[in-house]
Structure 1
Amino acid sequence: MRFEVTILGSNSATPLYGRNHTAQILNCNETISLIDCGEGTQLQMQRYGLKVNRIKYIFISHLHGDHYLGLVGLISSMHLNGRKEDLYLFGPAGLQEIIDLQLHYAETTLRYNLIFKATNPNHAAYILADTNFDVQSFPLSHRINCTGFVFKQKQRLPKINRALVESLDIPTTYYPLLKQGIDYTDNKGKLHRAIDLTTPAPPPKSYAFCSDTVNTPSYWPYITSVDLLYHEATFLHEMIDRAIETFHTTALQAGEIAKKVGAKQLLIGHFSARYKDLQPLLLESKTVFENTLLAIEGQTFEI
């Protein structure tokens, strides 16, 4: 099953050095989700060959402009391009009012259903159960209400040992039952256990998106043992006072968090425009968590 994230934007408040505002595309078995939608998101999708109308779900972490100001333009482009499929949007309660106001003064009625669900900034909640994955939101600690998201694959059914079942002349119509753990009895009365005729599917993988937040243990339980952790790392640790003042995290802290929660891999982003060269941020995080990567725009990371 395909499970990967493509970075569209990785800078913080100011786009600079060719880096754009936060936005990511998550592909789970060809179901496409957009996570945050800073300015220029749809242009970035065009640049990297990603089709806007394939997006089914959009998740917005909070209402600072660098995380959502590309959204109305994206929604409008979907309308102009003739979208008919429902679009599901998850984000802070105020986002509904912002969108309605924009559409009202543009005298625009969307051609498709925009289905909005407000996230809870105070408590964790399961907000989506798709056929391919589940999504949980959880509160972060930023200057305004902000949530993170964990995307976890559904557990897949076991795989049929085709050579073995064919040698036993088990009808193909019974294969789905074997995958569900139902044993097969042949016409001679011999029992063939489903567990012996199948191989377990790989364990489901998970991706956590930690948007803007100051370092606090309050959200760590929700990201424990994830396969890939995206965490903001706005500043180098020499600017820890500025990070605390602005409710952000340093690269060193991001590495420490990944280590404490047992993440398998760390992806850092939301870089301050003060840093043209990102290598110092990467090296700082690696001092405590070696398996750290930079969220470079245009790159796709398999989870």
Structure 2
Amino acid sequence: MEPFRVHILGCGSALPTLRHNASSQIVEVRGKMFMIDCGEGTQVQLRRTHISFMKIRTVFISHLHGDHCFGLIGMISTFGMLGRTADLHIYAPKELEPMLEMQLQLFCTGLDFKVVFHAIDTTRQAVIYEDHSLTVETVPLEHRIACCGFLFREKDTARHILRDMLDCYEIPVSQINNIKLGADWVTEDGEVVPNNRLTTAGTPGRSYAYCSDTRYIPKLYERLKDVDVLYHESTYTEDCADRAKLYYHSTARQAALVAKAANAGKLILGHYSARYEREDRILQEARTEFANTELSNEGMVINILPRS
């Protein structure tokens, strides 16, 4: 099975601490590297996790709070010093474009690659990226400013060929791709051999959802149904529910309620408030609602596996 992994580079919230870095993740799908958010210090975390700068092809920015985007211009500058030539695609709220353009003019003149900006609408769920193996959708969230999450869906693989059936019906190699894509086979005698006798079902695609800063949205689960792994912010515990509501954040219990309602395979917590020296309370609270919950931590690698 091709790799589908999430590398946690930072899982803290806005106030810097010595324990956690600002928000950033790498989603690795079949050898392609996508970055979600790029808080301050992300470059150092890339070094620590031995992820190649040059393999990052696309950056998705959830919203324009500094702990999610202050590291971006520094990373672009480093790409230039490393001799990057491949275009870098950035998907972010439209308000970032003029600021980024100004920073590029000030700090990154003479780049040998293009920074291609794609404005996203944070108010609607839509596919904003697609290639032969993957789609990425926006997931509208509710924060103090325009904000969205991102839903990565791996495409199902083509159907698997039954070699003995191909030999039995003497099907030429030139027709294998058509049969993988669902075509039936017609013999010289006119017999139609249905595709399900020639193949077995392909491997179902896996999915990962990143829900950045957001207050609790009771119906958010409808956008995340049956996701294999859900990352949902859990800035506070329930004793700070009023604070979470005031600053448009979520508690650990609320994150777990979303995971449970969505029938998620696993819940990953993150974006911890600096007030917590340990996150045990956050984990315990979430597990009272959704048992298959883990804390994120810098250096953690999450393997996205199909549901059993």
Q: TM-score, normalised by structure 1?
A: 0.94
Q: CA deviation at 1:219?
A: 3.3
Output the CA distance in 1 between the equivalents of 2:277 and 2:22: 15
Partner of 1:280: 281
Tell me which moved more, 179-188 or 107-116: 179-188
Partner of 2:221: 220
Give the AA of the match of 1:259.
K
Output the CA distance in 2 between the equivalents of 1:121 and 1:180: 35
Contact kept? 2:158, 2:203, Cα under 8 Å: no
3-state SS in 2 of match to 1:201: coil
Contact kept? 1:150, 1:222, Cα under 8 Å: no
3-state SS in 2 of match to 1:88: strand
Q: CA deviation at 1:184?
A: 2.6
Question: Runs of 5+ in structure 2 lacking a partner?
Answer: none
The reply to whether residue 48 of structure 1 matches residue 39 of structure 2 is no
3-state SS in 1 of match to 2:242: helix
Partner of 1:106: 107
3-state SS in 1 of match to 2:209: strand
3-state SS in 1 of match to 2:77: helix
Give the AA of the match of 2:209.
A
Partner of 1:184: 185
Question: Residues 163-209 of structure 1: CA distance to partner in whole angstroms, max 9, x if unpaired?
Answer: 44245543322211110122234456554332212111122221111
Change (3 A) 1:288 1:191: same
Tell me which moved more, 162-171 or 228-237: 162-171
Contact kept? 1:138, 1:148, Cα under 8 Å: yes
Partner of 2:141: 140
Contact kept? 2:165, 2:197, Cα under 8 Å: no
Question: Residues 100-146 of structure 1: CA distance to partner in whole angstroms, max 9, x if unpaired?
Answer: 11122236132111111111132222211222111111321111111
3-state SS in 1 of match to 2:302: strand
Question: Residues 79-102 of structure 1: CA distance to partner in whole angstroms, max 9, x if unpaired?
Answer: 111111121110011211221111
Partner of 1:241: 242
Partner of 2:268: 267
Output the CA distance in 1 between the equivalents of 2:172 and 2:191: 15
3-state SS in 2 of match to 1:283: helix
Question: Runs of 5+ in structure 1 lacking a partner?
Answer: none
1:46-85 equivalent positions in 2, closer than 5 A: 46-85=47-86
The reply to whether residue 10 of structure 1 matches residue 11 of structure 2 is yes
Partner of 1:232: 233
Amino-acid identity (%): 39
Tell me which moved more, 89-98 or 157-166: 157-166
3-state SS in 2 of match to 1:83: coil
Tell me which moved more, 97-106 or 261-270: 97-106
Give the AA of the match of 1:113.
K
Contact kept? 1:103, 1:109, Cα under 8 Å: no
Question: Residues 33-60 of structure 1: CA distance to partner in whole angstroms, max 9, x if unpaired?
Answer: 0000011111111111101111111100
Partner of 1:124: 125
Output the CA distance in 1 between the equivalents of 2:196 and 2:265: 29
The reply to whether residue 160 of structure 1 matches residue 161 of structure 2 is yes
Output the CA distance in 2 between the equivalents of 1:189 and 1:210: 54
Output the CA distance in 1 between the equivalents of 2:165 and 2:301: 37
Partner of 2:297: 296
3-state SS in 1 of match to 2:33: strand
Change (3 A) 1:93 1:168: same
Tell me which moved more, 88-97 or 14-23: 14-23
3-state SS in 2 of match to 1:241: helix
The reply to whether residue 27 of structure 1 matches residue 28 of structure 2 is yes
Question: Residues 2-24 of structure 1: CA distance to partner in whole angstroms, max 9, x if unpaired?
Answer: 21211110100123243101100
Contact kept? 2:220, 2:258, Cα under 8 Å: no
The CA RMSD over aligned residues, in Å, is 1.6
